[in-house]
Each structure stands twice: as structure tokens, then as C-alpha cells.
Amino acid sequence: MSTNNSFFSNIKSDIPSSIVVFFVALPLCLGIALASGAPLFSGLIAGIVGGIVVGGLSGSQIGVSGPAAGLAAIVLTAITTLGGFENFLLAVVLGGAIQIIFGILKAGVIGYYFPSSVIKGMLTGIGIIIILKQIPHFFGYDADPEGDFAFSQVDGHNTFSELGYMLENINMGSTLIAIVGLSILLLWDKVLSKKGKIFKIIQGPLVAVLLGILYYIFFGNSADLGISAEHLVQVPVPTDFNSFLGQFSLPNFAGITKPAIWITAFTIALVASLETLLCVEATDKLDPEKRVTPTNRELLAQGTGNMLSGLIGGLPITQVIVRSSANIQSGGKTKASAIIHGMLLLVSVVLIPGILNMIPLSVLAAILLIVGFKLAKPGLFKTMYKLGWKQFLPFIVTVLGIIFTDLLMGIGLGLLVGIVVILMKSYQNSHFLNIQDKSNGKSKFKMTLAEEVTFFNKGAILKELDALPENSYLELDVRQTRYLDFDIIEILEIFSEKAANRNIDIKLISERGIVENPPSYIEFFNLRPKLEDVRKSNS
């Protein structure tokens, strides 16, 4: 039975899940802004717009949007090269407009062309990178900002060297409350959630965060077990309404004629759209209801969100797998969860920023560790391996690529390997050749061509034809072939001359009839120009 998707239909599930997504999104919004070299508040703006605006316009029921780690490097470079944050905001606005054009042109179909093995590798790779990146924060080492998911980090280290430096800088207070928080999360997930409805309505992450705040209140100043300010959430705290409004920035529309701004805008639109479409494909696979997100509508929603975010001083927005998977894992059913999480971000940064700044980052790291583990379950490696190397190789390359480079590079490497695998199988499966018998002293061979035969298959077919012995008989069956590339017909045309010299007889069988030793394959398949004309045009 499908889930009713109206806003209030599953509010009992959506509110608890929105709280979990809020706690996951809060440090990532701030961390991505820090890693991007942008004002911290710009990350919160993107999170709020991504939740409320994009969540409302999107056709996805479980996807959650916000500032994307995959764009952090682009943002960091653009702010410097474009001559200021206001010029960059103009690029965000224009990028959003370009995304809307993508949606109108129905470019959302691109997301369907990524192999399932690459999508699964993306989910697993992100899960592993979340775990590796959150371990230092779990132990109170916060040198690298939350949301920096690239291998080469903003703090000058990499994902693995950071773990070594962490061992020399463990904060006992952060570690202690993180262990308590993780224990609560596991207890809630494995035991208490099955004991009664109250434990489903009140989520474990909320309890863990509240305990983290209480721990800071009672032990924050302790010499041994205290948690200093750099290990806490750091939301900007305005002193009055004017200072709050001062955190918003407007784009510099005077720079609209600068080519560099347009180049950055197109880059943002392209990368944000690709990351969104990949996330949509992944979240649809994770969705228990197996609903299908309308991708063109998603591009329109994301473009609208980016235009608004840029207009009021926010970072670029995409649909994000970390937030989306947290939403799914917490039982989110409809888009109400994404919208409410955006409202929670808005209300909390306006009304209670001081309370938010009492939350230890190590507790939020514990929440993200659970999210990462559920994305990267060890059993998936075994499952993918059993499916064979054609599935496992693109999967593992995607995983390793994400870990050792970044999200988009890892996906690109996995896709490249997937294409190579497809080409190899296409090379192998273009035809079937077997020896039938001998008659009149001639060996009889039968070659049956596949339904589609392209220039990728040239090598395999040419190898088989050249291996035919002299004084043999070839039966070439193309009855099942619906598409025969000119390159293959050209090979057959050239081979017919070789066959005559080697005393090889050819019988061509097609839906149009049977022809013995056809004088011209190009004529037979009604292709123009003739081979001689092609050769003349190439000379």
C-alpha cells in the first residue's frame, strides 16, 4: 500500500524525522560555509531555503536540500576570483536561472543514465567518508570544519592523516559525552524504539543532544572534563534585530556583464544539477515506498531555491544524500519532514542561537556516525561481489574514488569504469560463431549478429572473419539485427574481396531473403554513398 503524500498525512513520523535532519543539517550548514570561505550565516540561509522553498516545490517526498559539500571548493575559489562575496551571490542567482532552463529543456533525464552499481557505490562511499570525517569530531578534534568531505582537507591534512593528529589532541569532555550520546542512539535504535510509541515520537538524537547541552551546562568549565567553545556549535548570535538583518547580503547586479561571473554561474548550475540528479536517483532507491521523483521538476525547484538563496546571501543548494538518508532512516514519509526541518533551522537561529551554541560537536558527530554506518553496511560489499565483477568493479572504484578524491570525481571514475565494462561486453556479445559441419571438403561456419552492432564491435567481428580458414563456407545471419553500423558493413564489404581470394563462400541470410556471395553489402543494405564514394571523400 502506498503512502498518502499529503502534508499532514504522516505528521507523526515526519516531525520526529525532521528533528533528526535538523541536528544533522545544523553543523553541516555551518561547516560547509566555513570550508567555502563564506560567512557562516550564508550556510544557514541555504539550509533554510533548501528545506522550506525547495522542499515545498520539489516532487521528492523524502529528499532534503541544503548547501552541498561538493560545491565547497568551487565556492572558495569563486569568492576570491570574482572579487568578493556579493559578486559570487550574483553567480548563484544566475546559476539558479540556468537550472530552471535545464528543467524546462527536460535535462533531468541525465540522472537515469548512471548505472545502479555506481549509485550504490556513491551511497557506500559517502557513508564511509562520513564515518572517517566524523571520527575526529567524535573525539573533540575539530581542526577541519564539518562538511569538508574532500580527501585533501581545508586544514592542510587529508582524511587519514587527520586521524593521526586526532590521537594527539583528544578532548576528554567531548569524547565522554559523544560515547554517552552514541550509546543512547544505539539503545534507542535497537531496543527502545520497539518498546513503545513514545520512543518513536521522541527520537534518540534529540535525547542525545539535550544530554549534551546539560553536560556542557554542568561540566563546561571543568578543567578535566570541560568542553571549550571551539568544540561547540557556533551559530552567529545577533545582538538586536538590525544586527540580525545585517547578516543578509545582496548580490552585486552591476557585475552581470562580467564573463567570469557567467562562467561561475554555469559551473554552479551544472555541478549542482548533476549532484542533485545523482542524489535523487540514490534516495529513490532508498525510499521504502519506491516512489519516483520527477527529475525535471526537481531541477526547477532547485533553480528557484538557488535564485532565492543567492538573492538574500545564501550558498548554492543541491539535494544532499546525507540529509536525505538521515530523513529516510528516521522514518520520514513525506516532504513535510524537509519543510519542517527548514522551519526549525529558521526558528532556532532567530530565537535560540545561544542554546544551539551549547551543543557539543562530538554529539552531532555521533548522530552522523550512525547515518554513515547505515549507508555503508559491510554486507553490501559481499552482495555486490556476488553479483560478479561487472557490478563489483564500478561499485568499488566509485567507493575508493569518493574516499581518495571527492564525490563528483569518485562518481566520474565509477561511471568511466562502468562504460568500459559495457564496451567490453558489447565487444564480446556482438555475434555468435560456431562450426556446424563439413561438406564437400569445406568447413561450414555460422555467424549470427546481435540485435545492435556498432563500431565498438569492429575488432571482435574482424578478428573472427580473418581467422576463417581458406576453402571454408560462412553463413552470415542478420535476421535478428535491427541496427547495423556502417563501419560493420564496410568490414563485410572489404572481407568479401578477401573471401574471394581465399575461396571462402558466403551466404547472407536476412529478412529480405538469402543471397550467395553478395556483390555489394552496401548495395544490399541500401546504404548511400557507396564505399568508393566514401573513400573518395576521405582522400
Domain boundaries, the chain: 15-141+160-400, 429-538
Amino acid at 185: L
Residue 495's closest CA among 506, 510, 483?
A: 506
Buried b / exposed e along 59-83 (16+ C-beta atoms within 10 A): bbbbbbbbbbbbbbbbbeebbeebe
Q: Given a cut of 90, is residue 110 above it in pLDDT?
A: no
379, three cell numbers: 554486507
Bond into 529 cis (ω within 30): yes
Q: Given a cut of 50, is residue 537 above it in pLDDT?
A: no
Can you tell me which residue has the cell 555475434? Answer: 431
- Where in 136-209 does DSSP place strands (E)? none
Convert the pLDDT of each residue in 441-497 to its tens digit.
678 888 888 888 877 778 778 888 888 888 898 989 888 888 888 888 888 888 888
Instruction: Say how far apart CA 505 and CA 515 lie, in whole Å.
Output: 11
Residue 14's closest CA among 185, 208, 200, 194?
A: 200
Confidence at residue 454, expressed as pLDDT on a 0 to 100 scale: 79
Amino acid at 454: T
Residue 368's closest CA among 119, 539, 113, 134?
A: 134
Confidence at residue 435, expressed as pLDDT on a 0 to 100 scale: 64
| Residues contacting residue 128 through CB under 8 Å, at least 6 positions apart | 372, 376, 399, 402, 403
Residue 441 and residue 471 in contact, taking contact as beta carbons nearer than 8 Å = yes
489, three cell numbers: 558493413
Lowest mean pLDDT among 14-28, 423-437, 503-517, 522-536: 522-536
Count the Cβ atoms, other than its own, within 10 Å of residue 210: 14
Instruction: Say how far apart CA 405 and CA 257 lie, in whole Å.
Output: 34
Residue 101's alpha-carbon distances to 61, 154, 258, 266, 300, in angstroms, are 23, 33, 20, 11, 8
What's the DSSP call for residue 314? P
Cα of first residue to Cα of last residue in the chain, in angstroms, is 65
For residues 77 and 452, the model is more confident at 77
Can you tell me which residue has the cell 549542482? Answer: 272
Number of helices followed by number of strands (H, E) in the chain: 24, 9
Convert the pLDDT of each residue in 224-261 to its tens digit.
889 999 999 999 998 888 888 889 999 999 999 999 99
Task: Report residue 475 CA to chain centroid gap.
Answer: 48
CATH class of residue range 429-538: alpha beta
Residue 57 and residue 342 in contact, taking contact as beta carbons nearer than 8 Å = no
For residues 512 and 303, the model is more confident at 303
Band (pLDDT 50/70/90 cuts) for residue 426 is: low
Residue 14's alpha-carbon distances to 11, 22, 510, in angstroms, are 5, 12, 60
Count the Cβ atoms, other than its own, within 10 Å of residue 325: 27
113, three cell numbers: 543514465
| Mean pLDDT, residues 365-387 taken together | 91
Query: Under DSSP, is residue 452 helix (H, G, I), strand (E, B) or coil?
Result: strand
Half-sphere exposure of 165 (CA within 13 A, CB side): 15
472, three cell numbers: 571454408
**Whole-prediction pTM:** 0.81
| Residues contacting residue 406 through CB under 8 Å, at least 6 positions apart | 70, 73, 149, 150, 151
Instruction: Say how far apart CA 94 and CA 242 lie, in whole Å.
Output: 28
